[in-house]
């Protein structure tokens, strides 16, 4: 449970904590809503990236994996079960592998991205999609850290 007072309104700890700054929370939700409505990138790829970010930051993703299997069309349990060992797994497409490599660098070592890594991403994604993937990673990384540092219940479903 979070160590901040949950005086905001909402059905989740995240909402009640973030709701301590209602204007900021409202703008955050609007930003996420634009992202969801545009679907600028294949949602399966983004869900893999989101869950991998959580794994890299040490969050227990078992429940989120169950959600992912239910929600993201085409994201089967087979991929989710081997996500932590994606480099050795044979089930991921080349585009998914490029994004997972980008995810690792984004979270752990942003200076480690090489021209070869970038070229691999660019081989599968347009400029528009590449920017969208990186914006999504910024949200996933930033708000996973936000949740972890504030001690927000890791089992609650994300909005």
Partner 1 sequence: MAGRPRVEPPPARPGADAVAQSPLAHQPELLQAFLHLYGTLWSHGVVDHSSKEVARIRNARITDCGY
State the residues that interact with partner 1 by CB under 8 A.
21, 23-24, 27-28, 30-31, 34-35, 38, 40, 110-111, 115, 118, 122, 127-128, 130-132, 135
The residue (of 78 and 128) whose beta carbon lies closer to partner 1 is 128
Shortest CB 90 distance to partner 1, Å: 28
Q: Which residues contact 25 (CB under 8 A, 6 or more apart)?
A: 8, 15, 18, 19
CA dihedral sign, ordered 148, 152, 157, 159: negative
Shortest CB 148 distance to partner 1, Å: 17
Count CB-CB contacts under 10 A for residue 47.
24
Length of the chain: 159
Shortest CB 46 distance to partner 1, Å: 13
Tokens matching residue 74: 């085409």
Q: SS3 of 47, please?
A: helix
The residue (of 81 and 126) whose beta carbon lies closer to partner 1 is 126
The residue (of 34 and 149) whose beta carbon lies closer to partner 1 is 34
The residue (of 24 and 149) whose beta carbon lies closer to partner 1 is 24
From 103, 75, 69, 71, select the one nearest 87 (Cα to Cα).
Answer: 103
Shortest CB 3 distance to partner 1, Å: 18
């Amino acid at each position: 449970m979070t160590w901040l007072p949950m005086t905001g309104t909402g059905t989740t700890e995240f909402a009640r904590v973030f709701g301590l700054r209602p204007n900021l929370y409202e703008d955050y939700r609007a930003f996420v809503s634009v992202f969801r409505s545009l679907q600028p990138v294949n949602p399966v790829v983004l869900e893999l990236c989101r869950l991998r970010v959580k794994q890299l930051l040490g969050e227990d993703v078992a429940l989120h994996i169950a959600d992912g299997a239910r929600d993201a069309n085409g994201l089967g349990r087979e991929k989710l079960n081997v996500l932590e060992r994606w480099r050795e797994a044979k089930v991921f497409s080349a585009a998914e592998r490029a994004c997972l490599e980008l995810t690792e660098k984004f979270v752990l070592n942003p200076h480690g991205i090489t021209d070869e890594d970038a070229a691999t991403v660019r081989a599968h994604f347009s400029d528009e999609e590449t920017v969208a993937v990186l914006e999504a990673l910024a949200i996933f990384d930033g708000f996973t850290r936000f949740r972890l540092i504030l001690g927000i219940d890791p089992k609650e479903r994300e909005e």
